[in-house]
């Protein structure tokens, strides 16, 4: 095999373009992408949804026909000899490629046989992988019964039964809790060190991208950046600031800053609003016209995410003037607020001390299994309250009880003043609910979906038309009116789902993993809308596994094994994880520290 | 070669485990056939049996008495006697009876003088098939009775043509005897096409096929690993149906087991080929199931001659039946069960099956690539 000496790159892409042609339209997934991955390195492929990440990996794995350009895997032309290339690479598809009705052992055995791992080696390698992934105790368990994190590790183990030279991982950590994500990365680092493995991994988690030696940033099929994470981050040096203003709520401040010219990005981070300015633009002056209070602007070191957002916004075409981009999302909030006020007969549209959601010793049992164990919390009007937790922590069960979809076994639960035991239906009329997978009718157009949901909430005639017009304008769905919702871009699907949930102008909005699988840009836009809603007095309850999104919450509760592990505002939760080694813990650090602390007494 | 066998063995082992653990696969392979067998063996019968008839006897005497008891004496009818047609009509309208036999007041007199007499027959024509059968049985009973009466009187029958019915192959004229063999084609279509299309679509859905494609397993091994287990399952279904047909339902089997097995194997290969072909473009279970039912299961039911006679279909539909593999198999099955090894039936139909198996398997093989596009 001459390959090792000849080509220094494990993977080389030369002007690779790819388009998907269907009867109705042609979608370009990749445009002249040239890049390479050096042996023994980890390359991260990042970019918004639909950027072409999966297409890139599938092309490298020989799963798609190379339409134009050239791809070399370990010196082998993939178009010419895909079988030879496949013999030397490992590939884990997005859904891990596991047989759910086979046990952990049977899955491993299958892949070992299919990859012709010699029997003697099979045993040793299998043992090693099981040890590394911590799956030893679960050998006899069906893969379908494993948690998301364990499935992902088993999937990885299956691709590694025969040591590949190049490992391709397609979004291996989607829907996996933070602890498992961290463990997966430890395994990858270990493999790179001990087995000289080359890894290419696509991810929508930017913190994972920072762990790579090199990142490839794709946007709309183009390679926007190919560099190491540190230099990538450095691209926005001198453009990142923390802004605060005395006496002004951080949400209101964020909204104003996002609308300020020269500000590319504005997010809430702790007590501050973090902004990134356009190249060459000055940081905002001491005060903003719209705000009376003076601003304090402090330069801060750039983050990876700052560069990510800046780079993508830079290459994206500026939005046409009649399309209010995220920055103007707030312009309609006053109207929305006043509409909400008239509906609620003049109740104060801001945070009050009145508890809109009141849960006391809420418990749900399934047979002997206690899914939710006496949890208590209160959510005030106009507050954004987050429920955080790993898979199986009891988030979904709690959520279903709050929506009146599942009766509580024990405890008290009041939503919008109604006891859910007796008046679940009345309470539901005050609730808007956006389910995890958006629950839209994929075959209906945008207009049809809106009409259906309006009717489902018993809106008729003029009232119905008014709400639909509101939704089309507020969510800028007008241009997509007749598009079948299956064909909508993901970000627009999310807007439509939110519009449907808000059809009846609910007082309380439940969001179940609303941003799962959505890229950082679409997440930002989404949260701007949610902020505007909260400002107008809507109470928002959200579950998420994106720890940085916890920053958007006023208060949150971290759940583990059906109990509230900790509750409070983001700052105080982060403060608990502050150590000498980690003076600036992130929400994720705090989450992991809390979980570890909770697990420790049990382990001892 | 050794490596290839090892990979195939791994895939086959996996497939076997999945079949054993998946209740829906077992249900389609065994439970559904069993239900069909019970329905067709016991429930669905196209023969009239104890059909309730109203007999209007306007003037009862020994002759009418004799005819009424001749009617009641057959297994086809049970009779209820009325005095007036109005009363019989009421029973007919109330669906208490399916037909009316009307013997007028002059029935006995005409019969004695002319040796023949008109009888009125009214049949509920809602179910045209049954109506025609009732009509046929009535005519037969009438003729038999007349002949017996003439013989008793030492006179030749008064009919211009003496009909002596002789039914070949299915002497008992039992529809069960020809429905149950045809069921084998249905059962094999279920496992061959429907189940195979479903399990492969499931692999697409779960992303397991995508993962397998990047392994050393060749596309031939992947296809073979799907073909072999479901071939075994389908042949098992055939043997089980055969055993039940012969034992439980006492359907005669006049052909040879060898011919039946060979023909079944050919048909199953064609069905598997269709299943594989469907799954190469239908990548989710819902679509795969729908397509498999529409292009394989329903035609096997309706257009194969299993229930409905192909000869009496309009020519356009009859042309379509030539595309249905089950048609050729059902012909062989009916011959094997009811007539024996009729080579003039078996050979051309078996050749047609062979051709279809080659076309479908070939197309499936050509359509399968280790790629997603």
- What's the token pair of residue B8? 């195939």
pLDDT exceeds 80 at position A124:
yes
The Cα of B219 is separated from the nearest Cα of chain A by a number of Å equal to 11
The torsion defined by the Cα of B278, B284, B287 and B290, in degrees rounded to 10, comes to 80
List, for residues B266-315, the tens digit of each pLDDT value.
Answer: 999 999 999 999 988 888 899 999 999 999 999 998 898 888 888 888 89
Lowest-confidence pick of A103-112, B62-71, B113-122: B113-122
pLDDT exceeds 90 at position B88:
no
Q: What's the pLDDT at A41?
A: 92
Please identify which residue in the block is written with the tokens 């508890």: A355
Contact between residue B171 and residue B327 where contact means Cβ atoms under 8 Å apart: no
Distance from C-alpha of A50 to C-alpha of A433, rounded to nearest angstrom: 26
Instruction: Taking each helix axis as running N to C, give the angle between helix B2-21 and helix B219-247, from 0 to 180 degrees, rounded to the nearest 10.
Output: 50
Instruction: Identify all chain A residues contacting B211, using CB atoms and an 8 Å cutoff.
Output: 91-93, 96-98, 155, 158-159
Where does the pLDDT of residue B105 fall: very low under 50, low under 70, confident under 90, or very high at 90 and above? confident
- What's the token pair of residue B276? 């594989």
Backbone dihedral region of A12: left (phi > 0), alpha (psi from -120 to 50 degrees) or beta? beta
Contact between residue A54 and residue A203 where contact means Cβ atoms under 8 Å apart: no
- Range A355-430+513-604: architecture per CATH: 3-Layer(aba) Sandwich (3.40)
Residue A221 gets which letter from DSSP?
A: T
For A79, the closest chain B residue by CA position comes to B371
Q: What's the pLDDT at A424?
A: 72
Distance from C-alpha of A278 to C-alpha of A266, rounded to nearest angstrom: 12
Residue extent(s) of CATH 3.40.1710.10 domains in chain B: 51-152
Where does the pLDDT of residue A180 fall: very low under 50, low under 70, confident under 90, or very high at 90 and above? confident
The Cα of A58 is separated from the nearest Cα of chain B by a number of Å equal to 9
CB pairs under 8 A between A and B: 92
The secondary structure of A32-70, three-state, reads: EEEEEEECCCEEEEECCCCCCHHHHHHHHCCCCCCCEEE
For A103, the closest chain B residue by CA position comes to B17
Where does the pLDDT of residue A344 fall: very low under 50, low under 70, confident under 90, or very high at 90 and above? very low
- Contact (CB<8Å) A99/B216: no
Where does the pLDDT of residue A571 fall: very low under 50, low under 70, confident under 90, or very high at 90 and above? confident
pLDDT exceeds 80 at position A290:
no
CATH class label, B51-152 = alpha beta
Contact between residue B260 and residue B353 where contact means Cβ atoms under 8 Å apart: no
List, for residues A491-535, the tens digit of each pLDDT value.
Answer: 788 888 999 989 888 999 999 888 776 777 778 888 888 888 888
Q: Which one of A78, A87, A97 makes the best mutation probe of the B interface by having the most chain B beta carbons within 10 Å?
A: A97
- Contact (CB<8Å) A93/B207: yes
Residue B270 CB neighbours (<10 A): 29
Q: Which one of B214, B222, B371, B372 makes the best mutation probe of the A interface by having the most chain A beta carbons within 10 Å?
A: B214
Strand boundaries in chain B, DSSP class E: 51-57, 77-82, 99-103, 120-123
Question: What is the average per-residue pLDDT within A207-211?
Answer: 90
Instruction: Identify all chain B residues contacting A158, using CB atoms and an 8 Å cutoff.
Output: 211
What is the ipTM metric for this complex?
0.75
The Cα of B14 is separated from the nearest Cα of chain A by a number of Å equal to 7
pLDDT exceeds 80 at position A566:
yes
pLDDT exceeds 60 at position A268:
yes
- What's the token pair of residue B72? 């009641």
List, for residues B188-233, the tens digit of each pLDDT value.
Answer: 998 889 999 999 999 988 889 999 999 999 999 999 999 999 999 9
- Contact (CB<8Å) A100/B18: no
The Cα of B10 is separated from the nearest Cα of chain A by a number of Å equal to 5
Nearest-by-Cβ selection for A97 from B11, B207, B372: B207
pLDDT exceeds 70 at position B170:
no
Edge to edge, the sheet with strand A355-366 lists A369-380, A355-366, A410-415, A418-419
pLDDT exceeds 60 at position B161:
no
Per-residue b or e along A397-423, where b marks 16 or more CB atoms closer than 10 Å to that residue's CB: bbbbbbbbebebeebebbbbebebeeb
Helix (H, G, I), strand (E, B) or coil at B353: helix
Nearest-by-Cβ selection for A97 from B11, B17, B211: B211
Q: What's the pLDDT at B169?
A: 60
φ, ψ at A544 (rounded to 5°): -155, 155
Q: What's the pLDDT at A128?
A: 87
Q: Highest mean pLDDT range out of A55-69, A237-251, A272-286, A482-496?
A: A55-69
Where does the pLDDT of residue A57 fall: very low under 50, low under 70, confident under 90, or very high at 90 and above? very high
Q: What's the pLDDT at B271?
A: 95
Lowest-confidence pick of A30-34, A326-330, A468-472: A326-330
> According to DSSP H, which parts of B216-311 are helical?
219-247, 257-281, 285-292, 298-302
Nearest-by-Cβ selection for B6 from A93, A106, A113: A113
Question: What is the average per-residue pLDDT within A223-243?
Answer: 90
């Amino acid at each position: 095999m001459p390959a090792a000496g000849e080509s220094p790159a494990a993977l080389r892409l030369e002007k690779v373009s790819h388009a998907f042609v269907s009867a109705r339209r042609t979608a370009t997934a990749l445009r002249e992408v040239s890049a390479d991955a050096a042996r023994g390195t980890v390359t991260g492929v990042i970019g918004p949804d639909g950027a072409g990440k999966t297409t890139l990996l599938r092309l490298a794995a020989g799963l798609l026909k190379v339409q134009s350009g050239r791809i070399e895997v370990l010196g082998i032309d993939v178009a010419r000899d895909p079988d030879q290339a496949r013999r030397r690479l490992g590939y884990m598809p997005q859904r891990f490629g596991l047989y759910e009705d086979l046990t952990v052992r049977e899955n491993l055995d299958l892949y070992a046989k299919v990859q012709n791992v010699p029997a003697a080696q099979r045993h040793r390698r299998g043992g090693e992988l099981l040890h590394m992934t911590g799956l030893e105790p679960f050998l006899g368990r069906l893969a379908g019964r494993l948690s998301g994190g364990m499935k992902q590790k088993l999937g990885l183990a299956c691709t590694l039964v025969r040591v590949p030279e190049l490992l391709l991982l397609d979004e291996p950590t989607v829907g996996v809790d933070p602890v498992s994500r961290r463990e997966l990365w430890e395994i990858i680092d270990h493999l790179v060190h001990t087995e000289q493995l080359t890894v290419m991994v696509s991810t929508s988690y930017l913190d994972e991208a920072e762990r790579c030696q090199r990142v490839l940033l794709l946007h709309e099929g183009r390679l926007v950046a190919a560099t190491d994470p540190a230099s990538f981050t450095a691209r926005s040096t001198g453009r990142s600031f923390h802004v605060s203003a005395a006496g002004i709520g951080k949400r209101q401040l964020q909204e104003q800053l996002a609308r300020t010219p020269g500000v590319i990005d504005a997010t809430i981070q702790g007590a501050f609003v973090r902004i990134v300015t356009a190249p060459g633009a000055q940081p905002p002056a001491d005060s903003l016209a719209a705000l009376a209070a003076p601003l304090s602007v402090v330069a801060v070191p750039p983050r990876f995410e700052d560069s990510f957002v800046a780079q993508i916004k830079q290459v994206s075409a500026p939005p046409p003037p009649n399309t209010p981009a995220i920055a103007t999302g707030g312009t309609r909030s006053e109207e929305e607020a006043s509409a909400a006020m008239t509906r609620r007969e003049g109740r104060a549209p801001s945070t009050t001390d009145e508890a809109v959601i009141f849960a006391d010793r809420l418990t749900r049992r399934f047979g002997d299994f206690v899914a939710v164990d006496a949890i208590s919390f209160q959510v005030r009007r106009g507050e954004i309250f987050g429920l955080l937790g790993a898979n199986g922590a009891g988030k979904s069960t709690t959520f279903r009880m709050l929506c009146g979809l599942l009766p509580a076994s024990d405890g008290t639960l009041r939503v919008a003043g109604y006891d859910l035991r007796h008046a679940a239906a009345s309470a539901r009329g005050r609730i808007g609910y956006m389910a995890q997978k958006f629950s839209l009718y994929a075959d209906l157009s945008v207009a049809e979906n809106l009409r259906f949901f309006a009717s489902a909430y018993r809106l008729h005639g003029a009232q119905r038309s008014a709400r639909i017009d509101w939704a089309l304008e507020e969510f800028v769905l007008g241009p997509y009116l007749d598009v079948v919702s299956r064909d909508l871009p993901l970000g627009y699907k999310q807007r439509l789902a939110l519009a449907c949930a808000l059809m009846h102008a609910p007082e309380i909005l439940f969001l179940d993993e609303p941003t799962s699988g959505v890229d950082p840009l679409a997440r930002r836009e989404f949260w701007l809308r949610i902020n505007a809603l909260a400002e107008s007095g809507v109470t928002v309850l959200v579950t998420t596994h994106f720890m940085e999104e916890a920053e958007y919450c006023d208060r949150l509760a971290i759940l583990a094994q059906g109990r509230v592990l900790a509750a409070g505002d983001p700052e105080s939760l982060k403060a608990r994880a502050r150590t000498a080694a980690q003076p600036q813990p992130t929400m994720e650090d705090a989450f992991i520290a809390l979980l570890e602390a909770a697990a420790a007494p049990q382990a001892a | 070669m050794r490596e290839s066998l090892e990979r195939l063995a791994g895939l086959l082992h996996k497939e076997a485990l999945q079949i054993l653990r998946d209740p829906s696969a077992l249900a389609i392979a065994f439970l559904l056939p069993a239900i069909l067998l019970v329905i067709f063996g016991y429930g669905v019968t196209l023969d009239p049996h104890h059909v309730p008839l109203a007999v209007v006897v306007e003037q009862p005497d020994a002759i009418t008495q004799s005819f009424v008891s001749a009617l009641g004496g057959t297994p086809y009818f049970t009779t209820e006697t009325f005095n007036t047609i109005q009363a019989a009509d009421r029973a007919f309208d109330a669906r208490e009876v399916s037909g009316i036999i009307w013997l007028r007041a002059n029935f006995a007199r005409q019969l004695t003088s002319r040796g023949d007499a008109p009888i009125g027959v009214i049949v509920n024509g809602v179910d045209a098939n049954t109506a025609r059968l009732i009509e046929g049985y009535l005519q037969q009973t009438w003729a038999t009775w007349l002949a017996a009466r003439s013989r008793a009187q030492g006179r030749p029958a008064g009919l211009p043509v003496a009909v002596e019915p002789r039914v070949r192959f299915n002497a008992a004229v039992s529809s069960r005897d020809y429905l149950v063999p045809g069921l084998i084609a249905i059962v094999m279509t279920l496992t061959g096409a429907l189940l195979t299309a479903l399990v492969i679509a499931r692999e697409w859905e779960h992303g397991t096929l995508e993962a397998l494609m990047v392994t050393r397993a060749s596309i031939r091994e992947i296809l073979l690993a799907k073909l072999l287990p479901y071939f075994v399952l389908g042949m098992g279904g055939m043997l089980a149906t055969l055993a039940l047909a012969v034992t439980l339902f006492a359907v005669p089997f006049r052909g040879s087991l060898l011919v039946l097995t060979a023909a079944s194997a050919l048909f199953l290969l064609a069905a598997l080929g269709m299943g594989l072909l469907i799954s190469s473009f239908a990548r989710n279970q819902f679509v795969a199931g729908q397509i498999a039912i529409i292009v394989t299961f329903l035609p096997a039911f309706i257009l194969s001659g299993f229930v409905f006679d192909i000869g009496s279909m309009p020519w356009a539909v009859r042309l379509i039946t030539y595309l249905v593999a089950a048609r050729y198999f059902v012909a062989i099955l009916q011959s094997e069960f009811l007539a024996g090894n009729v080579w003039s039936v078996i050979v051309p139909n078996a050749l047609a099956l062979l051709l279809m198996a080659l076309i479908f398997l070939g197309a499936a093989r050509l359509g399968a690539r280790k790629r997603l596009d």
